[in-house]
Amino acid sequence: MTRFVDVPTMSNLVQEIGVPQFIGELANTIRDDFVNWSEFEMSARVANHSEIGVIELMPVSNARRYAFKYVNGHPKNTQRGMYTVMAFGVLAEVDTGYPVLLSELTIATALRTSATSLMAARALARPNSKRMALIGNGAQSEFQALAFHHHLGIEEIAVFDVDPAATDKLIANLSAFPSIRIVRAKSTADAVRGSDIVTTVTADKAYATIITPDMIEPGMHLNAVGGDCPGKTELHADVLRTGRVFVEYEPQTRIEGDIQQMPAGFPVVDLWRVLADTLPGREHDQQVTIFDSVGFALEDYSTLRYINDQAEKRNLGAGVELVPWGEQDDDNDPKDLFRYTRQSKAKRSIRRAA
């Protein structure tokens, strides 16, 4: 049977583990897989674009497991009462092709994005960073705030969004974590001023310049999360020239990241090489480091692997017959698919996962 983790089950799983612990453990899981980068077969995601959004498939595999994520990005969805990003994913055995997990990934993608940001900042930001600017206070923002506060020692977060209601929501949600000092900024420049780390998580599908060169201070680490498809950026091109730029999977980031503005030969550093200690990350305290984050399939592989392990440990999720299950009985003939057209084989099968 395939383990099925729906939205209520994921919510229960996150509550049992706790958001900060979930993010920290997931960051470690993603890092482990990045260090073993050469073991994976990878490709840029397959994307179908429209004028108002994008739908993508993100596959990756190693010798043991295959994973893919279905995900969309439609910024105007919020006007319809829907989320901008929605996703689900599958984890399967390479030996048989059997899907072992079908999981919601909308909530999990927010957790994995913050975990990836944390993983990168641990390697690239200045030690003892204390203040972060958080530009864009939508669905991703609380997760980013908790990741950097609980696991990187950020004490003060200056927040700004062009939509004041989004900032109201963020401040209300983070009030449950009184150890975080939240400062409501008047503008992007006001939030960025004096920050050790700048995180941008804006959603508009546009060539935007949320961060401009005049905002950059020596030693900053920029965590640019929102620019993640062709025609969508957050950083002015000259910002990219001020520091050292790190990417997840270069062929994909060249198309989707903020570096889509730059010429083909513009130098970037593979983050996995820094994590594997084959290339340096930050070279000195005054250097500006930029993580041009677009989200990569390996991070979703790690997330599905973590979800499956944690759900199995807690006996969460239902067992569903997503594909025909080979029962061990006299009636089982793996060459006879037509038998499922008979009523005896057409029963709906859902049960708690073992």
In a domain? residue 112: no
Query: 110-124, pLDDT tens digit by residue?
Result: 999 999 999 999 999
Based on the domain organization, do 137 and 276 belong to the same domain?
yes
Based on the domain organization, do 307 and 284 belong to the same domain?
no
Based on the domain organization, do 148 and 287 belong to the same domain?
yes
R_g of the chain computed on alpha carbons: 21
- Distance, in Å, from the CA atom of 98 to the CA atom of 181, rounded to the nearest integer, reads 47
> Which residue range is the domain that position 76 belongs to?
2-107+299-352
* Token representation of residue 331: 């009636």
Residue 20, domain CATH: 3.30.1780.10
Based on the domain organization, do 161 and 76 belong to the same domain?
no
Could you tell me the pLDDT band of residue 342, with boundaries at 50, 70 and 90? Answer: confident
Could you tell me the pLDDT band of residue 44, with boundaries at 50, 70 and 90? Answer: very high
* Token representation of residue 104: 């919601």
Based on the domain organization, do 196 and 290 belong to the same domain?
yes
Residue whose entry in the numeric block shows the structure tokens 């209300």: 172
Q: Stretch 130-151: mean pLDDT, rounded?
A: 97
* Catalytic (active-site) positions: 228
Residue 251, domain CATH: 3.40.50.720
In a domain? residue 275: yes
Last residue of a domain, one of 295, 317, 340: 295
Last residue of a domain, one of 246, 280, 295: 295
Q: Which of 20-34, 160-174, 259-273, 327-341 has the lowest mean pLDDT?
A: 327-341
Backbone angles phi, psi at 328, to 5 degrees: -90, 80
Q: Which residue pairs, CB below 8 angstroms and at least 24 apart, start in 249-256?
A: 249/42, 249/44, 249/296, 249/298, 251/44, 252/44, 252/45, 252/294, 252/296, 253/292, 253/294, 255/44, 255/230, 256/227, 256/228, 256/229, 256/230, 256/232, 256/294
Number of separate domains in the chain:
2
Query: 45-70, pLDDT tens digit by residue?
Result: 999 989 888 999 999 999 999 999 99
Q: Which helix (H) or strand (E) holds 61?
A: strand 54-61
Based on the domain organization, do 92 and 172 belong to the same domain?
no
Q: Stretch 149-153: mean pLDDT, rounded?
A: 98
How many beta carbons lie within 10 A of that of residue 220, not counting itself? Answer: 26
In a domain? residue 118: no
